[in-house]
């Protein structure tokens, strides 16, 4: 098989296999063909990976930040040099068009390695004067062994967004990719070794949810960072709480994108397209509830339909393709179920809604209009190319409706009125907001959700706080006064 890795797992600097584990077939979503066959980690493999990470951690943390950072930056350079090959793997693993994977996956992973590599040398504590010559100082310490668990939409990016800050702080990692997209994290592990990383600092084990669950409860693990759905997040958060482990939760969303009638329609349509159909709609922060002010509703919908008709849907390896298949047959069927619910509950289908008559898991980009807040498609995360357009009259009304959800990942507003834009983002209950743009996630800025969409932030200097903790040291320069 063309994409068969040397073995399923990467532990202590080498590929490792244990065929006793359940089979994981890797399927190319554009054709349905099996392109690799891996095995889920057995308890012996899980133990081997955690032990490797545990043993490597003290030595890794004892290196200077500058030395650790140099390795991460070298890994970033290797990833960029191999971007094409890595993008081909990512396209076969996820079905995302090569046009996308070339600019948003290994390159985003390399950005994280470079950014956190650059920060590694400056991760310090502070000196706190206490009066009379006494003082305290703080030491920024690594947490220990961290577990990363990934979703299937951005496999390389997630492997690096978790790995890079963890390693920069002196932690080691055991990363479990999604069982749907297991290939690229192995490449990240290989590249780190090539860049000079000590063995055991970044290990990859494959597996289904049960493997993730065993990692989360292991006493050797200090921290769990999960990217996944809210129901999985709830389970992982509860399991981690048993032994008070640190957590970062990057979970799902049902984000609002509000278009006022003074907005530049062309830009608003572009934002709605990026926020609903990039990666065939499989992006956590997507603005899938598009609230359009009544005055421009028909103009917005007709321009949207015109632009969607120009999408190039097809072979993801063709550089001209800009809309690919869904990641799996199962996910495609979930989305088709939501399309049926949308129709049954009275939404007006204005574009798409069907599967393409070809091999692979292709759905047309789909738009429903006249959606109301109570409809299933307006309440639940679909995680596919389905946009719901809802009408609104006033700013006050739309803000209240935008926030009426348990999710709080992202929110966006399109308007030419800058004060209204800032009023709206001040009112949005969301971790990541966009004014006249949508779905940016550069490494320099924090990314994450509030409410049930998450705990903690990835990227930016803030991620450092989620992968390290402060030790406070009090120093007395004077005689001690005791009461007796």
Catalytically active residues, by annotation: 250
Residue 138 interacts with ligand NAD (CB under 6 A): yes or no: no
* Binding-site member from 152, 277, 368, 414 for ligand NAD (CB under 6 A): 152
Q: Which stretch binds ligand NAD (CB under 6 A): 127-135, 226-234, 304-312, 419-427?
A: 226-234
Residue 29 interacts with ligand NAD (CB under 6 A): yes or no: no
Q: Which stretch binds ligand NAD (CB under 6 A): 53-61, 104-112, 149-157, 188-196?
A: 149-157
Shortest approach of ligand NAD to residue 254 CB, angstroms? Answer: 9
* Binding-site member from 135, 137, 208, 237 for ligand NAD (CB under 6 A): 208
Q: Which stretch binds ligand NAD (CB under 6 A): 27-35, 127-135, 250-258, 389-397?
A: 250-258
Residues 6 or more apart in contact with residue 337 via CB below 8 angstroms: none
Residue 179 interacts with ligand NAD (CB under 6 A): yes or no: yes
The 10 Å Cβ neighbour count of residue 40 is 23
Residue among 157, 215, 123 at smallest CA distance from 466: 123
Judged by beta carbon, residue 95 or residue 449, the one nearer ligand NAD is 449
Shortest approach of ligand NAD to residue 268 CB, angstroms? Answer: 23
Shortest approach of ligand NAD to residue 418 CB, angstroms? Answer: 28
Shortest approach of ligand NAD to residue 206 CB, angstroms? Answer: 10
In the range 360-419, which residues lie near ligand NAD by CB under 6 A? 381, 383, 409
Pairing of the two strands 256-259 and 14-16: unpaired
* Binding-site member from 118, 125, 209, 446 for ligand NAD (CB under 6 A): 209
* Binding-site member from 5, 13, 117, 212 for ligand NAD (CB under 6 A): 212
Judged by beta carbon, residue 114 or residue 179, the one nearer ligand NAD is 179
* Binding-site member from 110, 159, 251, 430 for ligand NAD (CB under 6 A): 251
Dihedral angle at the C-alpha atoms of 411, 415, 416, 421, nearest 10 degrees? Answer: -40
Per-residue x/- track, 106-125, ligand NAD (CB under 6 A) = --------------------
* Binding-site member from 235, 341, 420, 451 for ligand NAD (CB under 6 A): 235
* Binding-site member from 119, 216, 269, 332 for ligand NAD (CB under 6 A): 216
* Binding-site member from 153, 276, 366, 415 for ligand NAD (CB under 6 A): 153
Residues that bind ligand NAD (CB under 6 A): 149-153, 176, 178-179, 208-209, 212-213, 216, 227-229, 232, 235-236, 250-253, 284, 381, 383, 409, 449, 454
């Amino acid at each position: 098989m063309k994409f068969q890795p040397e073995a399923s797992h990467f532990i202590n600097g080498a590929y490792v296999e244990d065929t006793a584990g359940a089979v994981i077939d890797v399927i190319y979503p554009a054709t349905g063909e099996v392109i690799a066959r891996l095995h889920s980690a057995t308890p012996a493999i899980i133990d081997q990976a955690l032990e490797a990470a545990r043993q490597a951690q003290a030595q890794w943390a004892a290196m200077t930040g500058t030395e650790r950072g140099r390795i991460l930056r070298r890994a970033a350079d290797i990833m960029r040099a191999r971007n094409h090959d890595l993008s081909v793997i990512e396209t076969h693993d996820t079905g995302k068009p090569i046009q996308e994977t070339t600019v948003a996956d290994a390159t985003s992973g390399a950005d994280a390695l470079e950014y956190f590599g650059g920060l590694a040398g400056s991760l310090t504590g502070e000196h706190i004067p206490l009066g009379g010559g006494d003082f305290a100082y703080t030491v920024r310490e690594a947490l220990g062994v961290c577990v990363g668990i990934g979703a299937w939409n951005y496999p390389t990016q997630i492997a690096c967004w978790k790995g890079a800050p963890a390693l920069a702080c002196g932690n080691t990692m055991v990363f479990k990719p999604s069982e749907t997209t297991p290939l690229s994290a192995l490449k990240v592990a290989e590249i780190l070794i090539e860049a000079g990383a000590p063995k055991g600092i970044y290990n990859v084990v494959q597996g289904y949810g049960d493997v993730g669950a065993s990692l989360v409860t292991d006493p050797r693990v200090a921290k769990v960072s999960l990217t996944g759905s809210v129901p999985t997040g709830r389970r992982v958060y509860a399991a981690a709480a048993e032994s008070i482990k640190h957590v970062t939760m990057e979970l799902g969303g049902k984000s609002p994108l509000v278009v006022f009638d003074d907005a530049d329609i062309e830009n608003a349509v572009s934002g709605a397209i990026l926020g609903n159909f990039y990666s065939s709609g499989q992006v956590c922060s997507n603005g899938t509830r598009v609230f359009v002010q009544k005055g421009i509703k028909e103009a917005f919908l007709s321009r949207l339909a015109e632009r969607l008709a120009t999408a190039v849907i097809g072979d993801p390896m063709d550089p001209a393709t800009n809309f690919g298949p869904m990641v799996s047959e199962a996910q495609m069927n979930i989305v088709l179920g939501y399309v049926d619910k949308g129709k049954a509950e009275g939404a007006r289908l204005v574009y798409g809604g069907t599967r393409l008559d070809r091999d692979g898991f292709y759905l047309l980009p789909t738009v429903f209009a006249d959606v109301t807040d109570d409809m299933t498609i307006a309440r639940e995360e679909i995680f596919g190319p389905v946009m719901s357009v809802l009408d609104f009259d006033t700013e006050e009304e739309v803000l209240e409706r935008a926030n009426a959800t348990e999710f709080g990942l992202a929110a966006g507003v399109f308007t030419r009125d800058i004060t209204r834009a800032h009023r709206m983002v001040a009112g949005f209950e969301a971790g990541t907001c966009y004014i006249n743009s949508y779905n940016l996630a550069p490494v320099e800025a924090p990314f994450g959700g509030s409410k049930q969409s998450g705990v903690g932030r990835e990227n930016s200097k803030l991620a450092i706080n989620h992968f390290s903790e402060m030790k406070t040291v009090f120093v007395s320069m004077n005689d001690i006064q005791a009461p007796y």
